[in-house]
Amino acid sequence: MTPSTLKKIDVEGMYEAIRSFSEHLQAGRISALGADLGAWPGTGITQVVVAGMGGSAIGGDVLSALSIDHSSIPVYVSRSYTLPEWVGPDTAVVASSYSGNTEETLSAFDEACGRKARVIVISTGGELVSRAQARNIPCVVLPSGIQPRAALPHSLSALLTITESLRLTSVSPSDWDESIALTAKQSTEMSNFDDPDNPALKIAKILCGHFPVIYSSEQLAPANTRWRNQIHENSKSFAVGNLLPEMNHNEVMGWARFHSELKSLSVVALRDQEDHPRTQRRLDVTRSLLEPHAHKWLEIHSQGESRLTRLLSLMYISDWVSLYLAILNETDPSPVGLISRLKAALVEND
Q: Rounded to an integer, what distance in angstroms lies between the CA atom of residue 155 and that of residue 16?
A: 18
**Do the bridges between strand 91-97 and strand 75-78 make them parallel or antiparallel, or are there none, so unpaired?**
unpaired
Q: Measuring CA to CA, which residue among 188, 193, 156, 171 is closest to residue 55?
A: 156
Q: SS3 of 50, please?
A: strand
Active site residue: 24, 104, 233, 236, which one? 233
State the Cα–Cα distance between residues 120 and 139, nearest whole angstrom. 6
Check if 233 is active-site: yes
Contact 313, 304 (CB under 8 A): yes
Please name the amino acid found at residue 131. Answer: R
Of the residues 249, 259, 330, 348, only one is catalytic, namely 249
The sheet with strand 91-97 has its strands ordered as 75-78, 47-52, 91-97, 118-123, 139-141
- Contacts for 5 with CB less than 8 Å, ≥ 6 apart: 327
Cα distance between residue 89 and residue 77, in whole Å: 18
Active-site residue, 249 included: yes
If you write DSSP's letter for every residue of 70-101 in order, what string do you get?
A: T-SS-EEEE-SSS--TT-STTEEEEEEESSS-
> Cα–Cα distance between 104 and 53 in angstroms, integer?
8
Residue 165's identity, in one-letter code, is S
Amino acid at 120: I
Please name the helix (run of DSSP H) or strand (run of DSSP E) that holds residue 242, with its range, or none. strand 240-244
Does the annotation mark 301 as catalytic? no
Indicate which residues carry an active-site annotation. 233, 249, 343
